[in-house]
Chain A
Amino acid sequence: KAGVTQTPRYLIKTRGQQVTLSCSPISGHRSVSWYQQTPGQGLQFLFEYFSETQRNKGNFPGRFSGRQFSNSRSEMNVSTLELGDSALYLCASNPGQTLRGQYFGPGTRLTVT
């Protein structure tokens, strides 16, 4: 099976712009989660989607949003980018069962200048 894929792998944006990141989960996986990884804060949970519904959300401002499509592919959007949004954004998929671990993609490296 192909793993989790994320596009693009690298992105440079300017403050105030918005950005959309894409994630394709492992075939058959219906749960997609998003995480932000920074050197200072480590890995922090953004949100999780299952069957096109957001089931859980982390403590991030409303500028961070996401959605999931009927084929389980997911996108996350960050509006009005700030310098502090520079990070590695990781997507993870799971069949939809808890306690089984997450399968992460390679991430999208976002740099905000």
Chain B
Amino acid sequence: TQLLEQSPQFLSIQEGENLTVYCNSSSVFSSLQWYRQEPGEGPVLLVTVVTGGEVKKLKRLTFQFGDARKDSSLHITAAQPGDTGLYLCAGEGGTSYGKLTFGQGTILTVHP
């Protein structure tokens, strides 16, 4: 059974601070995906990383896939109140046909 451990579970910071969310597993994934979910809505795909060591940037968000494709991180620079939400990492195997293994999520609150 593939498991993803996401940390921290909760993060409460002030506007302008930087933060990093980690996603770790003992299993190798073909891809690691990051989602953001707001209350009452479904998760929204932020990024998919596929290659070991890959780094992707999305404005103030930087996503990294570990060299061994077992871990990933999400770094937010100069957080804003609009970044508040539930951040989820999800791993996908090469032939898993739509089956994503999700981490438990990180609830981020950015205070003005």
Contact = CB atoms under 8 A, between A and B. Distances in A.
Main secondary structure of the interface of B (DSSP, over half): loop
Interface residues of B, number: 27
Contacts of B105: 42
B97 A55 contact: yes
Interface in A55-81: 55-56, 58
Interface bin, chain A: 20 to 34
A106 B44 CA distance: 10
Interface string B1-27: 000000000000000000000000000
Nearest to A56: B97
A42 B99 contact: no
Interface of B: 30-31, 33, 35, 40-45, 48, 50, 88, 90, 92, 94-105
Interface of A: 4, 31-33, 35, 42-45, 48, 50, 55-56, 58, 90, 92, 94, 98-107
18 contacts: A32-B98, A33-B98, A42-B102, A42-B105, A43-B43, A55-B97, A56-B97, A90-B42, A92-B42, A98-B31, A98-B98, A99-B31, A99-B92, A100-B48, A102-B98, A104-B43, A104-B44, A106-B42
